[in-house]
Amino acid sequence: MKQLSIFVLLITFGIQAQNQKIKKLIDDVEPSVIEWRRYFHQNPELSNREFETAKIVAAHLRNLGLEVQTGVAHTGVVGILRGNKPGPVVALRADMDALPVTERTAVPFASKIISEYNGVKTGVMHACGHDTHIAMLMGTAEVLSKMKSELNGTVKFIFQPAEEGMPAGEEGGAKLMVEEGVLKNPDVDVIFGIHISSLLSVGNINYKPKGIMAEAQRFVIKVKGKQSHGSSPWTGVDPIVISSQIINGLQTIISRDTELTKAAAVISVGMIKGGLRYNIIPEEVEMIGTIRTLDAKMRKKLNDEIMNRVPAIAKAYGGVATIEIETTAPLTYNDIELTANSLPILQRVAGSENVHLIDAVTIAEDFSYFQKEVPGLYFFVGGKPLNVKTEDASGHHTPDFFIDESGLILGVQSFVNLTMEYLK
C-alpha cells in the first residue's frame, strides 16, 4: 500500500508539473499571439489569395522545427509535429481568409487594404476573426512544439484558405484540402476547430453536440424578360418587377410554409444585378443568395419549394426564371463522444460556469467537410469586451466588428489542453 501511495503521489506531481509547464508556455506566447493577430488584421487577404499570410505561417512553423507543406488547396499551409512517442494523430484547424468589407473601427492596426471583389473595388477586412484564429493556432504550435518530448502521437496544424468561399470559377477551402489528402499521411483521428465570437463575452465558451451550425447552400436565379424603353413598359416584360415578386415569394416560403418550430431555416437574397441605364428596362436580372437549414428534410423541402415556385412566379408575369442550387458547406456536426470527452477539459480550462450549451445557429462553416471524414469538435470562444452589452456589440461580417484580444489566450489554452489530453 505504501508503494502504491508513493506511485500515486509521483503521478499527481508529474501531472501538476506538466500543467504548470503548459501554463507558463501559454503565458509566454500570449504577447506574440496578439502581435501576430494585429499584423494579420492590418494586412488581410481575400479567399484563395492568402499569399503573404501563408508565407508568414509557413516560416513560423519551420522555425519551430515542424514538417511544413505549402500550396495545399492553393494557399493552405500544414505543419506536422511528431511527438517522441507513438500515438494518435490530432488535427487543429484555423482559417486564414478575410472579407470584402471596408473597416470602420478606430483600432490603430485597422486595415487600409483595398482590393477588388466581383469586379467591384472594396476594402478588405478580417471582419469574422480569422486573424485571431491564425494567431491562436500559431501560438498553439509554438507551445506544443516545446512539449514534443511529452507528446504521445502527432499533431497536424491546418491553416486553411477560402473558408468564406472561393472566387467565381475556382475551387478551394476545406473541401479541396480534404480532396488533396490533408487528413492523410499521417491519418488524422480527430480534429478540433475554434471560432472567435464578437457577441460572446471574453472567457466564455459555447458548444453543442451534434449539429451546431447550419448547412449552407448558394443559389443563383436568372430572370429573363423582354427589354424595353422605361417610358413604355407595356411593350416588354420587366425582369426587375418579376424579381421583386420572386423575393417576396422566397420569404413566404419561410414565413408561411415552413414549420420553424421544428428547425430554423433561412432564405436570403444577398445580391441583385440587372440593368445599365435608368430609362431602360433590362432583359435579364440575376439574383444570388443563401439557404440555411439544420436538417436534411428541411433542406429538401426548401429546395423543392424554390425550384417549383420561382419559375411559376416568373411565368405568371410573362418571364422565364432558372435556378441553380449548390451546397457550399454541409451541416457542422460535432461528434457526440468526442464532445462528451472534451467537455470536462474545456470546463477545467475556462471554468465550468463559463462553458455553455447552446442551440444550433444558422451561420455555416466549411469545417464540416473535415467532420464528414473524421470525428470533430467545433466550438466558440468569447471575444466581446466584458464592459460591452451583447446588444451593443457589432456582429461578424460588419465594418465595426471588434475583438477583445484578451480572449485569444483561452483559444490557445483550449487547443493545447484538448490536444495533450487526447494524446494521452
How many whole angstroms separate alpha carbon 92 and alpha carbon 193?
6
Give the largest Cα separation in the chain, rounded: 100
Active site residue 97: yes
List the catalytic residue out of 97, 131, 366, 404.
97
All three cell numbers of 217, joined, read 447552400
**What is the DSSP annotation of 370-383?**
HHTTS-EEEEEEEE
**Which amino acid, one-letter code, is at 383?**
G
All three cell numbers of 284, joined, read 435579364
Report in angstroms the alpha-carbon separations of 2 from 5, 11, 13, 15.
Answer: 5, 14, 16, 20
* β 120-123/114-117 pair status: antiparallel
List the catalytic residue out of 95, 163, 335, 405.
163
Active site residue 163: yes
How many whole angstroms separate alpha carbon 84 and alpha carbon 146?
12
Residue tagged 491564425 (cell numbers): 134
Q: CA 29, 30, 32, 33 torsion: positive or negative?
A: positive
Q: Which residues are catalytic?
A: 97, 163
